[in-house]
């Protein structure tokens, strides 16, 4: 059986994986789904100093404390940057990295520069206005492909602004992350912000899989996503 470490994207917490985690555990796998510093149920730790390096340290510390090896490290959306940073620091602990509709960054690249220009512009405007210069306000769930009202009501009260520095701080890599096999899963039933990253993964020779759902696949298609993860681990 595999150990899955599931990393949430911007504004969310580890709880967002609840439906997928249940499927993985039923299949006999171990699941860890931490909440990154400063977000959701760890919003009490939020400050302008929280950056990508903070979140990489969160996960490295978790892997070290668990004594992990051969884990399947899954990152959704923003957390693709975290997956890459962690794989560079602890390649020996990870058996496979999975990018779920996520950033595929290289050394020196920041998340904000990896977004389509129009989306990046919207982020910058939001940060400069209601984000007080250091927060990314929560985006519309409908824009992310969440249309079921019950899902909207479950997610909305749990989402919190995301620290801007995590998007502006670039990856600092040695290249060791390339030793860890990788898979990309693209969610195709929305505006497909991460299409360029699926293409980057394909160019690198990674398996690239399609999931016909919105960006929040762990909420809108948990069974299908769990099956993909299990098949990927196998």
Element (H, E) at 5: strand 3-7
123: Cβ contacts below 8 Å, ≥ 6 apart: 112, 115, 136, 167
Pick the catalytic residue: 77, 126, 140, 203? 77
50: Cβ contacts below 8 Å, ≥ 6 apart: 37, 38, 163, 165, 166
What is the C-alpha to C-alpha distance for residues 145 and 107, in angstroms, rounded to an integer? 30
34: Cβ contacts below 8 Å, ≥ 6 apart: 5, 7, 14, 58, 59, 62
Q: Tell me if residue 77 is catalytic.
A: yes
Cα Dmax for the chain: 47
Which residue(s) pair with 100 in the sheet?
76, 185
229: Cβ contacts below 8 Å, ≥ 6 apart: 4, 20, 24, 72, 74, 98
Q: How many CB atoms lie within 10 A of CB 61?
A: 11
11: Cβ contacts below 8 Å, ≥ 6 apart: 39, 40, 136, 138, 139, 159, 160, 161, 162
Q: Active-site positions?
A: 77
């Amino acid at each position: 059986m595999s150990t899955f470490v599931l990393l949430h994207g911007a504004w969310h917490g580890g709880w967002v994986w609840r439906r997928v985690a249940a499927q993985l555990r039923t299949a006999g796998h171990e699941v860890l789904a931490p909440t990154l510093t400063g977000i959701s149920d760890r919003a009490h730790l939020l400050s302008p100093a929280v950056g990508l390096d903070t979140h990489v340290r969160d996960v490295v510390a978790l892997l070290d404390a668990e004594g992990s090896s051969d884990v399947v490290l899954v990152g959704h959306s923003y957390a693709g940057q975290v997956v890459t940073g962690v794989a560079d620091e602890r390649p020996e602990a990870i058996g496979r990295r999975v990018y779920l509709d996520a950033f595929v960054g290289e050394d020196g690249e920041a998340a904000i520069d990896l977004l389509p220009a129009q989306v990046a512009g919207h982020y910058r405007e939001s940060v400069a206005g209601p984000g007080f210069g250091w927060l990314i306000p929560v985006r519309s769930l409908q824009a992310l492909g969440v249309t079921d009202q019950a899902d909207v009501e479950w997610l909305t009260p749990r989402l919190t602004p995301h620290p801007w520095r995590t998007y502006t701080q670039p990856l600092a890599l040695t290249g060791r992350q390339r030793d860890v096999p990788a898979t990309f899963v693209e969610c195709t039933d929305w505006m497909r912000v991460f299409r360029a990253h699926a293409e980057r993964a394909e160019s690198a020779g990674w398996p690239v899989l399609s999931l016909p759902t919105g960006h929040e696949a762990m909420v809108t298609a948990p069974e299908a996503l769990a099956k993909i993860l299990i098949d990927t681990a196998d």
